[in-house]
Structure formats: C-alpha cells, structure tokens
Amino acid sequence: MSTIVHDISYNSKNRHDLFLSLSPKEQSITINQLSKRVQQQLILQLNNTEISPFLEYLDPDEVTSILRFLPKKRQEMLINQLSEYYQQSVSTLLKFDPKTAAGLMNLNYIQVDEDVTIFEVIEQLKVNEKRTGKLPTILVMKEGKLSGYLSFSLIALANKSKKIKDYVKKINVIRHSSEYDKVIKLFKQNAYNKIVVLNENKAVVGIIYSEDILRLIGEQSSASLYNFAGVSEDETVFDSAPRKIKFRYKWLIINLATAFLASFVVQSFSETIAKNVLLAVYMPIVAGMGGNSGTQTLAVMVRSLSNSELSKSMILKALKNEIITGGVNGLINGFIVAVLVMLLNHDIMIALILAVAMIVNLIVSSTFGTIVPVIMKKLGKDPASSATIFITTATDVFGFVTFLGLATILLK
C-alpha cells in the first residue's frame, strides 16, 4: 500500500488512473494516507460516480473532510447517494467551521442516562453497531448534561443488572468553536484519549479521538517546518522547476529588499571600511552570529505560541530571560572572537570593537526573536514564516551599525 500511496502522491499525470485501479475499500485506505494537497487534487479529478463507492468505507468525519474539497452542489449530490446514517452525520458535520474543534469531531457516540443498567447499554450498543457497523463511545448523561463516559472493559466485567452511574469515568470537554491550539493543549495536558465537543448550551455535539488530534499535530508540525523556511507546504521534492519558482519567488524578493537595507547601512560606512579593510573580514561574523541567535529564540517562541497562549507577564519574563541569555552568550562569544583577532591580527581595537558588537547584536537578536513572533501572532500572521525576515533584518542592521559605528568613532 505504501508503494501506491507514493505513486499517487508523486505521479500527478497518472494519479487518476492509479487511484481507480484500486478497489473501493483500498481507495478508502489510500485516500487517508495522502496529504491534504494531493487529496484535494485527486478528488477534483474524480467525478461523483468515481467518488461515491469508497465514501462509506470511511468514517463520517473523514467523508466530511473529503466533501469540503467540492462545491456545495456536488456535496449535496454525493450526500444523497449515502446511507441514511451517513447522510445525517455528514450533513451535521458540514455545518461547523472546519478550523475549529467541531471540524475535528465525529459523531460516533451514543448518549445513555446514568440510571440505566449495563444490560440496557449493551442492547443500545448492539442497535448502534448494526446501524453503523462501528462501536461508539458511550457518553453518560445526568439530567440532560454530560456526566462522563463508560469504558468497554468495565461493561464486559460488570454485573449486567447494575446501574451504570457507579462506573462513570471522567472525560474532557471543549467548546465547538475552540481553535485547534486549545484542542491540542487540552489533549497534551491530559491522559484521556478522547474529548467531547459541546455547544453553547453545553449539549454534546460530537467527540474528538486521539488519532484525529495526532494527525492534526503532525500536519501542523510539517506546516511549521515549511513556513520556517519560507516554503509553501504544497511544495514537494518532486515538483517541477516552474512550480517551485512559483512557490518561492515572493519570499526571496522580500528577503532581497531587506538585504538591500542592510547593504545601505554598510555603504554609509564605506569610508571607514576603506581605511580599515580588516573590518570587512569580520563583518559576516557579526551578522551570522546575530542571525543564529535570533533563530534559536524564534524557534522557542514559535513552539510556545503554538502550544499555548502566553500572558503579558509570561512574555515579559521570557523577554527578560532571553535578553540575559543573549548578553551572556555575547560575552562568551565576544571574548572568544577577541582572542582570535588578537592572535591572528594583533589588533586590540578591532578585537574590542568586534567583542562589543557581538554582545550588542546577540542582545538585539534575543529581543527581536522574542517580541516579533508575539506581534505577528497578535496580527493573525504565522510567526514561523513572517517573523524570520524581520529578525534577520534587525540583527543585520543593528549588528553593522554597532560594529561599523564603533569603528568609525574609535579607529580615527
């Protein structure tokens, strides 16, 4: 199966035929192993007759994700071809925002009152399994409100005549409108393998399973890696050169503009550099160390921002710690580079200037590496992709101004 998934993913010309060569059950397994981009491209290539056979091999939430790639008219046509259970489930799921907790949930659950017996629950399970072909999560209700859930192991071992209220286990809940970050945070903080989704009235509307959250975490990690490098997550190693150019040229143009800003700073100190050629030798060290330090701080901040909401006090504490870290690392690296300059060039002034510039630039990089991603997050931008360019610009400009400015003052 891994071979066919690879062939479909990276052979766009034969993708349609390769997929249709599979049985409906194999198609349902394969479609779930494809990336979102390939899924969308494939589904748009298929007609309704080619899509409908494999849909009922999927869970309703998976069917919903597939149908979201299509226009509403085609969605309705395909839903009408499904069984009654799927029609009801998919129609319900399509009403919710796909980028919220409700977009991750499915409807594979039953609700039972806490006063019923284990035997009565088993009978309901049989009815549901016959209707859907799947064993659902058993949610226990008390006076119309969620009380918890029943595990299948308890049902198997408990006295069938006992009421279920003595066997209820705690389960986490989340609002249907909650963003992905809150879902992931709740999942990571607790050991439960499922989360119940509630509406504004605290009524159950769905359930999120661990595999859905783990898949989301994987997708977000992959997207963050691409964004951090300024590359579209739609790009693959097998894309053609024109397609790669399309994905990358805008980012590179923006970087070019900021590079010119740094070059203008250097140009303004051209006389100083002309008089002291050794400065040009060590300029890349100042810029490079600042960029590396800023990237380290940015990586930590992006991870923290993706895992939780940072309060103002937490941000200020993080900023303080990063500035201290940058200053100490600046002292360490500044001392090392100063010693090397003294050994290689025997120039104490250049050594001193380079050491001071190193300290200043690592403090600047730590400051911008902390503040910029927070600002980007507040503005609704992806801090991984949007913050890098501003941090690099800041470290280049401040690093060169400090290094060359001190040289202009001290090397007369």
**130/9 same-domain check:** no
**219/248 same-domain check:** no
d(CA 10, CA 7): 5
User: What six digits make up the tokens of 197?
Assistant: 């989704």
232 domain-assigned? no
User: What six digits make up the tokens of 196?
Assistant: 């119940």
Domain boundary among 226, 255, 274: 226
Q: What is the CATH number of the domain that holds 131?
A: 3.10.580.10
Domain boundary among 94, 121, 148: 94
Task: Give residue 36's domain range.
Answer: 2-94
Burial class of residue 273, CB neighbours in 10 A (0-12, 13-18, 19+):
middle
121 domain-assigned? yes
Domain boundary among 94, 129, 146: 94
Strand partners, 32: none
138-172 confidence digits (pLDDT tens):
899 988 889 888 887 777 777 888 888 888 888 88
Reported for 207-211, long-range contacts at CB under 8 A and 24+ positions apart, including other chains, are: 207/105, 207/106, 207/107, 207/108, 207/109, 207/137, 207/139, 208/101, 208/104, 208/105, 208/106, 208/174, 208/183, 209/106
pLDDT for res 154:
75
226-284 confidence digits (pLDDT tens):
554 555 555 555 556 776 677 667 767 777 787 788 888 888 888 888 888 888 888 88
Task: Answer for the pair 366, 297: CB distance below 8 angstroms, yes or no.
Answer: yes
**401/291 same-domain check:** yes
pLDDT for res 1:
56
Q: What is the CATH number of the domain that holds 47?
A: 1.25.60.10
Of 228, 403, 411, 266, the residue nearest 330 (C-alpha): 403
236 domain-assigned? no
99 domain-assigned? no
pLDDT of 314 > 70? The answer is: yes
121-140 confidence digits (pLDDT tens):
888 888 877 777 777 888 99
133 domain-assigned? yes
**120/84 same-domain check:** no
31-61 confidence digits (pLDDT tens):
988 888 788 889 999 999 999 999 988 888 8
d(CA 336, CA 344): 12
**22/147 same-domain check:** no
235 domain-assigned? no
337-389 confidence digits (pLDDT tens):
999 989 988 889 999 999 999 999 999 989 988 888 888 777 766 666 566 77
User: What six digits make up the tokens of 300?
Assistant: 């930590």
pLDDT for res 362:
92
17 domain-assigned? yes
Side-chain half-sphere exposure of 133, counting CA atoms within 13 A: 8
Number of domains in the chain: 3
